[in-house]
A = this chain, B = another copy of it.
Amino acid sequence: MSLPHMSESTEMYLKAMAELGDHPVAIARLAERLGVTPVSANEMMRRLGEQGLVTHTPYKGVTLTEKGREAAANVLRRQRLWEVFLFEHLKIEWAKIYEFACSLEHATAPEVTEALAAFLGNPKVCPRGNPIPDANGGFEPLGGRSLRETAVGKTVRVRAVNATATDVLKYLQDKGILPGQTLKVLEAAPLDGPLTLSVNGKEVALGLSMAEFVIVE
């Protein structure tokens, strides 16, 4: 057992696919998220296909195989355990934990992962509100809907924040849009314009692409 160790690049592609939710992921979206040209992402998908980690249906998108899904879940497990450690124990700013954990995740042996999980008390969720897969890749998919699709006038509670870019996380942090926060959608501007929210008594403007990353219930 124990795979011949995947490269950081491979792990990031798999994780990105898992983060981009259920299924067929357009290679262009992957490329965008990973900061790589579509041609490069295509090449990489060919390699991952040869390794049996993904299947690519041209013009439809790319899907994780079971093997790929397990590997991705394991990366997410490491990522989110480190997020817990960085936030709860090292007291690192919420907006930065994703980025720091994203480096550590690739440098973490299975034995360290499990010892870390035990040290942290086997948490089920990370500070961004996302579930932490168990050691076997088991996963309870996050319920809730995107704030983007929330009707004007509704009051909702933030369950998770799916953003990964530090500057986006920083903006959300500054505006108080964190897991557990209750907020109200005051207005949705036309033409895909921003939402206006009420958060902690303050009005906050939030573009739709950012709102998409905020999962509410």
Q: Which residues of A contact B (CB under 8 A)?
A: 86, 89-92, 96, 100, 103-104, 106-109, 111-112, 115-116, 118-119
Interface of A is mostly: helix
One complex includes copies of this chain to the number of: 2
Which residues of chain B come closer than 8 Å to A92, judged between CB atoms? 111-112, 115
CA–CA, A104 and B104, complex, Å: 6
| Residues of B close to A112: CB separation below 8 A | 86, 90, 92, 100, 104
| Contact A107-B96, Cβ < 8 Å, known A89-B119, A90-B119, A91-B115 | no
**A–B pairs, 25, beta carbons within 8 Å:** A86-B112, A86-B115, A89-B119, A90-B112, A90-B115, A90-B116, A90-B118, A90-B119, A91-B115, A92-B111, A92-B112, A92-B115, A96-B111, A100-B109, A100-B111, A100-B112, A103-B107, A103-B108, A103-B109, A104-B104, A104-B107, A104-B108, A104-B112, A106-B107, A107-B107
Within the complex, what minimum Cβ distance (angstroms) separates A179 from chain B? 21
A111 contacts across to B, CB distance below 8 A: 92, 96, 100
In the complex, what distance in Å separates the CA atom of A86 from the CA atom of B107? 13
Q: Nearest Cβ in chain B — how far from A113, in angstroms?
A: 10
Complex Cα gap A89–B121 (Å): 12
